[in-house]
Amino acid sequence: MNNEYSKDDGIVLFNEECGICNFEINHYKKRSKLKFQDCSQLGDKYLKQLHIRFSDNSELVGVDAFIYVWKNTSGFQFFAKLINLPIIYTIAKMIYKVVALILFYRFKIKKKLVS
């Protein structure tokens, strides 16, 4: 397991304007003491994948960010352990990149249609 997962000063950066992202993050907010911040105005880098930013400016991104969230959320620790298994971790990273990209472009298209 990556030592960065054990840091406890992470801020979860998520796109509050994305209905799917917001729905999921609301579950974690209810079951954790993590700090959350809307990243919808921080640029595409943060809209493409979930990010955790630490006080030393290091970051966890994508699946690694989810592992951090799950590890620190009541009832989700099993997912963190499961996804962190080598073969599952590799597959999860590939699947996440595709799903995150689809959600990102869906969000961008939807935002253009509204404006």
pLDDT-derived band at 41 (thresholds 50, 70, 90) equals: confident
Q: Is residue 102 part of a domain?
A: yes
Count: domains in the chain: 1
Q: Is residue 30 part of a domain?
A: yes
Q: Is residue 3 part of a domain?
A: no
Q: How many CB atoms lie within 10 A of CB 104?
A: 16
Domain that holds residue 22: 9-114
Percentage of residues in the chain having pLDDT higher than 70? 90
Q: In the predicted model, what is the mean pLDDT of the chain?
A: 87
Contacts of 47 (CB under 8 A, 6+ apart): 15, 18, 39, 40, 104, 107, 108
Task: Name the token pair of 38.
Answer: 């809307």
The answer to whether residue 72 scores a pLDDT higher than 90 is yes
Per-residue pLDDT at 32: 94
Q: Is residue 57 part of a domain?
A: yes
Per-residue pLDDT at 92: 97
Alpha carbons 107 and 18: distance in angstroms, whole number: 6
Query: Exposed (0-12), middle (13-18) or buried (19+): which is 17, by Cβ within 10 Å?
Result: middle
Per-residue pLDDT at 76: 95
Q: Is residue 79 part of a domain?
A: yes
**Mean pLDDT lowest among 6-10, 34-38, 65-69, 74-78:** 6-10
What pTM, to 2 d.p., does this model score?
Answer: 0.85
Q: Is residue 70 part of a domain?
A: yes
90-106 residue pLDDT tens: 999 999 999 988 888 88
Per-residue pLDDT at 115: 60
Q: Is residue 1 part of a domain?
A: no
Residue carrying structure tokens 């006080």:
55
Contacts of 51 (CB under 8 A, 6+ apart): 12, 13, 39, 45, 59, 60, 61, 65
Alpha carbons 86 and 95: distance in angstroms, whole number: 14
Say which CATH number the domain at 38 has.
Answer: 3.40.30
